[in-house]
A and B are shown apart, each in its own frame.
Chain A
Amino acid sequence: MNKTFRYVQSYLILGLPLVIALMVWNTIYTQEEIFSHNSIIQKILFNALVVNIFAWFITLIAFLITLVACPSAREKTLMRLANLKERDEREEYITGKASRATYLSMISVMILFLFFSLFSVDLRKTPKEANGQHNLSISLGVHFTLLDSPTINKTPDVLFESRDIPLSKSAIILFFICWQLAVFNITARRIKDEI
């Protein structure tokens, strides 16, 4: 598993320039322009890059799912990305304190964002009354939807199309708050049982 994971990581890193190269090439020239060219090497190269991009995309999906599902894989990969150094007890202590502060800060920011996504404020001028004066009205509203269907133009020839996460902003923020609270508490309980 470790060796496979390392190979997958290396492929994702080394394959990225080829993915970018194909994207840039396809931006400058359309597929018809590339295939109308007489060069066989160019056509073979283009096809190879297309195969690579699909393989890379599928590998990336599998890698991201593994990161979420597998704690050991997550630790190995994300510790380097997050610059987490735990070479001795002092660095573990620092990581613990910093993680705690980050966790609480993230929860507070997400609660703030959730508030703004749920509540609406409306201040408007009401029509002139009989005395000829405008009055102001302020209204507060609460609005929550779970799903937010993205705009997909479905034509008969499209069999499947996926775009964006189908959850609303409020639902995503609420999900992240619940996820953070759940993971923290479950992990803390597990550590408590070990000690």
Chain B
Amino acid sequence: MYSLLYIATTIGDIMPRIENKLTIKNRIQELRNKENLTQIDLADAIGVTRATIIAIEKGSYNPSLELAFRLAKFFETDIETIFFINRK
């Protein structure tokens, strides 16, 4: 029983830990300003409301995979260029 517990804790130390909640940041505002677009223009272009664009830029809402791909396609770049994990 003790040996099983020892093995379990050792495996826990070897395996990389992935945090349950990731802080995801984005460069949407930067890319939008580069293209001289307003939030409404971007919202209409990708089929969401202006409030959603505001929420995504603030970081208070993480878009779905589909919406992330639509943004990447709109800005003609990769998802990883737009979204990144904030490492403290």
Q: Is the interface of B mostly helix, strand, loop or mixed?
A: loop
Q: Across the interface, which residues of A come within 8 angstroms of B63, CB to CB? A: 89-90
Q: Across the interface, which residues of A come within 8 angstroms of B55, CB to CB? A: 90
Interchain nearest-CB distance for A111 vs B (Å): 32
- Report, as a range, how many residues of chain A touch the other chain: under 10
In the complex, residue of chain A having the shortest beta-carbon distance to the beta carbon of B67: A89
- Decide if B36 is an interface residue (CB 8 Å cutoff): no
Q: Tell me if B47 and A88 are in contact (CB < 8 A).
A: yes
In the complex, residue of chain B having the shortest beta-carbon distance to the beta carbon of A85: B49
- Decide if A87 is an interface residue (CB 8 Å cutoff): yes
Q: Across the interface, which residues of B come within 8 angstroms of A148, CB to CB? A: none
Q: Across the interface, which residues of B come within 8 angstroms of A75, CB to CB? A: none
- 33-54 of chain B: CB within 8 A of chain A: 47-49, 51-52
Q: Is the interface of A mostly helix, strand, loop or mixed?
A: helix
Complexed CA–CA distance, A65 and B43 (Å): 39
- 53-75 of chain B: CB within 8 A of chain A: 55, 61, 63-64, 66-67
Q: Across the interface, which residues of B come within 8 angstroms of A89, CB to CB? A: 48, 52, 63-64, 66-67
Interchain nearest-CB distance for A88 vs B (Å): 4
Interchain nearest-CB distance for B21 vs A (Å): 16
Interchain nearest-CB distance for B62 vs A (Å): 10
Q: Across the interface, which residues of B come within 8 angstroms of A91, CB to CB? A: 49, 52
Interchain nearest-CB distance for A95 vs B (Å): 13
Interchain nearest-CB distance for A90 vs B (Å): 4
Complexed CA–CA distance, A90 and B57 (Å): 13
Interchain nearest-CB distance for A9 vs B (Å): 27
In the complex, residue of chain B having the shortest beta-carbon distance to the beta carbon of A88: B48
Complexed CA–CA distance, A93 and B63 (Å): 10
| 9 closest Cβ pairs, A-B complex | A88-B48, A90-B52, A88-B49, A87-B49, A88-B52, A89-B64, A90-B61, A90-B55, A89-B67
A-B contact pairs, 22 of them (CB 8 A): A87-B48, A87-B49, A88-B47, A88-B48, A88-B49, A88-B52, A89-B48, A89-B52, A89-B63, A89-B64, A89-B66, A89-B67, A90-B48, A90-B49, A90-B51, A90-B52, A90-B55, A90-B61, A90-B63, A91-B49, A91-B52, A93-B61
